[in-house]
Amino acid sequence: MVKYLLGLLLVIVFASPAFAQDIPQIELGFGYGNFAMKNLHPDRHSGLATHQTINLNSIFAIENYLGYYGFGTDPQFGKTELITELFGGRVNYRTEGPVLYGTAGIGGGFLRFTDFGAGINSFGVKYGGGIDIPFKESFAIKVEASRMSFHFLEQWNSGWNLSTGIVIKIAQ
């Protein structure tokens, strides 16, 4: 039993520098998204945008993007909404102040026609970049521009997504 405790103690001592990161392990971003998909719907539409990021080290991270956009009321289809779920990677360039990053991901989109109780699923991709500007030790302001594409109705429908919001840094 003493050998196992000593072994565990040695593992903890040598593994502890891995936990001493000067970057946040998790970043949660909540805010506003503005998306245009001109092939499918002519106007820009507002919605909720969330980013969940797990930093593997100071350069690489895993990112999940969840977006909800209201496309308004169409005379033919009624109320239309788009829900996006895109999972991928993120590459960071960290300085003393702002963090510049590029992101890419794959996932899906769900176009809902709430008046009919129906919807269309689709494969989706996203790529783009942005900046996180810190304003407190555990908070930052996020601004991101990304291109999102979805394969609805036998064709690719793409558009630019502009999102902004507050980032909460956890376990720094």
Q: Which residues of the chain have a pLDDT value below 50?
A: 15-20
> Domains of the chain (ranges plus CATH)?
24-170 (2.40.160.20)
pTM value is: 0.82
Q: Are 147 and 130 in contact (CB under 8 A)?
A: no
Per-residue confidence (pLDDT) for residue 141, from 0 to 100: 96
